[in-house]
Amino acid sequence: MESTAHSPSIVRPGALKSSFSVEPLAPTIGAEIGNIDLTSPLDDDQYTALRAALVKHKLLVFRDQDISAAQQVALARRFGELEVHPVFPHHPDHPELVMLGGDSKIPGRENIYHSDVSWRERPSMGSMLRCLECPSVGGDTIWVNMAEAYARLPESTRDALDGLLAVHDLLPAFGTRMSTDERAARRAAFPPAVHPVVRTHPETGERVLYVNEAFTTHLLNYIEKNDVRFGIDFRLAEMDLLQYLYRQAAVPEYQVRLKWRPNTIAFWDNRSTQHYAIQDYFPARRRMLRATVIGDVPV
């Protein structure tokens, strides 16, 4: 089966052969891609090799890529259909690009471990973030390999997660930015989504821990999967388990940390990672443009 931008199949390791270089950034996640000019459209071989590198390393970093907003949209669209985010401000000419970053009066609030738009029925396959402006010190971003996080859980915990479902919701993270009427409209348009606590990556078959503290609110069927004495046991045990799972993203051994420079692009797989934008630079500015590729329904 051939791989296309809209019908991905498992990409074989041999597809990594290409003219660009791939330099790992950390033992478990991340690679810097060199010897490539993203101002030119990707040919089929480049696309196939980059998709293979993305799936393998989960985060790709490209330095010194002075591309336009239109070129960023075209590049991201090569990997699939792009979403239009319902809350973040959009680029005036390209609604597929969200504009991220505060100013000297409003700090950013992305400093929480999360996977982009996990509250959608079809969450993101990947996100492509381009740095326009950043401070000389501070404003790094951390990414986490959540397949590794799942694989290194105790076996008894992995067994306990089998069949569990989690609820992901837009409003806890974004509702404070909205009026009462806006919250009601967003709730109607984007009801909470239910996804497996452990999803299977559609291209690798990896098992991935898929809960995050930004959007996952509770476990839907905890009481069905566990024996409890009283209601208080059910609630406390559920919350304890969910908090334990949230904390797996903070394990340094599963992470890589990127120092931004203008014209740096990070492209990551939201199906197998979480990330955390460090807010240590306010009131300096950090301005970014993000394109988000729509994914599949987690299973």
Q: For residue 12, give the amino acid letter.
A: R
> What are the angstrom distances between the C-alpha of 21 and each of 117, 258, 274?
31, 18, 25
pLDDT of residue 178: 87
Task: Count CB-CB contacts under 10 A for residue 206.
Answer: 19
pLDDT of residue 180: 92
- Which pTM value belongs to this model? 0.91
d(CA 279, CA 111) in angstroms, rounded, equals 6
- Active site residues per annotation: 114, 116, 275, 290
Task: Count CB-CB contacts under 10 A for residue 117.
Answer: 23
pLDDT of residue 18: 59
The enclosing domain of 151 has a CATH number of 3.60.130.10
Report the domain count for the chain: 1
pLDDT of residue 128: 98
Output the tens digit of pLDDT for each of the chain's 299 residues. Answer: 333 333 333 434 444 455 899 999 999 999 999 999 999 999 999 999 999 999 999 999 999 999 999 999 999 999 999 999 999 999 999 999 999 987 777 777 779 999 999 999 999 999 999 999 999 999 999 999 999 999 999 999 999 999 999 999 999 988 887 889 999 999 999 999 999 999 999 999 999 999 999 999 999 999 888 777 777 778 899 999 999 999 999 999 999 999 999 999 999 999 999 999 999 998 999 999 999 999 999 99
pLDDT of residue 254: 98
Which residues constitute the domain of residue 289?
A: 1-299
Task: Count CB-CB contacts under 10 A for residue 39.
Answer: 10
pLDDT of residue 106: 77
| Two structure tokens written together for 229 | 């004495």
Buried b / exposed e across 248-269, counting CB within 10 Å, b at 16+?
Answer: bbeeeebbbebebeeebbbbbb
